[in-house]
Amino acid sequence: MSKSTEEDRRETRWISEQEWQDQKCHYQIGDLIEFASREKLYRHWGMFLGGNLVVHVTAHTLWNPVRDFFGRDDTILDMASQTEFEEEHENHSPPEQTEWMGMVIWESPRSLGRHGTDRTTYFIKVEHIVRIVQKGTFRVNNNGQNTASLKAKSADEIFRQIQSVRNQKVEYCIRTKNCEHFVTSWKYHNADDVKSGVNADNGTSGQVNLAYKIGGVVAVALGGLALRYFNKTDPEEKQKEKRKTFERGFSSQ
């Protein structure tokens, strides 16, 4: 059985789904879990509930940065890979559960958010950690900025609040109300005042700041390529202009 969160955890090494069964003994109820996908630029966050279960805020197609950042319905981008993953992992096994001091939290229905407009709706879902990681890697990361002064909630408090919000629809905004914000509010008291990884100046989370930094680097790189292109083409254009000027002057004589 996982231990209480009174003893605040910090950070573990990155692991894959193949290592989970050997490493799960190091995970405690209330640990914040950081997920990384090899194909995406940003991170996803959940909170460990014991057993194999993690609570997180997600839409049906989890790793879709276009939809998440711009609010566009581009689920078609990830539909094929998501379906392939579901077929590989769906074994029609009964839903899992985790227990603490007589309180039980069940895995969310696997059909939640799969149909119609629900595919782009965000839910508070309790899922098997392997279903979330989707061939990526994950780790415990309780090193959120500005959280040192906050008191972590007990396992009792965490279980009660997740029991009350599990499977609910929520509003999502990657800048001000993303998965990192949600899990931090579940882990800490008064976390609405100071959120995990939050930049105190702009209210965004660590993953958003990372996205902006990456976007800035990409913009600079594209600008540099454009500059190189125009510098390379300018002499040729000038030569063409000179030839046109010469031809116009010759024909006027």
Q: ∠ at Cα 161 (135, 47), nearest 5°?
A: 20
- The per-residue pLDDT for range 223-241, each reduced to its tens digit, is 555 455 545 555 566 556 6
- pLDDT value of position 37: 84
Q: What is the pLDDT of residues 193-225, one digit of tens each?
A: 554 444 433 344 455 555 445 445 444 445 555
- Residue 127's pLDDT band (boundaries 50, 70, 90)? very high
To the nearest 5 percent, what fractions of the chain are helix, strand and coil? 40, 20, 40
- Output the CA torsion sign for 78, 83, 84, 89: positive
What are the beta bridge partners of residue 139?
34
- Cβ neighbors of 188 (< 8 A, separation 6 or more) are 147, 150, 151, 152, 153, 196
The fold adopted by the segment(s) 15-202 is endopeptidase fold (from Nostoc punctiforme) (3.90.1720)
Average pLDDT, the chain: 74
Higher pLDDT, 199 or 86: 86
Helix (H) or strand (E) holding 225: helix 206-251
| Percent with pLDDT over 70 in the chain | 57
User: Per-residue pLDDT averaged across 162-182, rounded?
Assistant: 93
- Domain boundary assignment for the chain: 15-202, 205-253
Lowest mean pLDDT among 60-64, 73-77, 105-109, 116-120: 73-77
**pLDDT in the model for residue 135:** 81
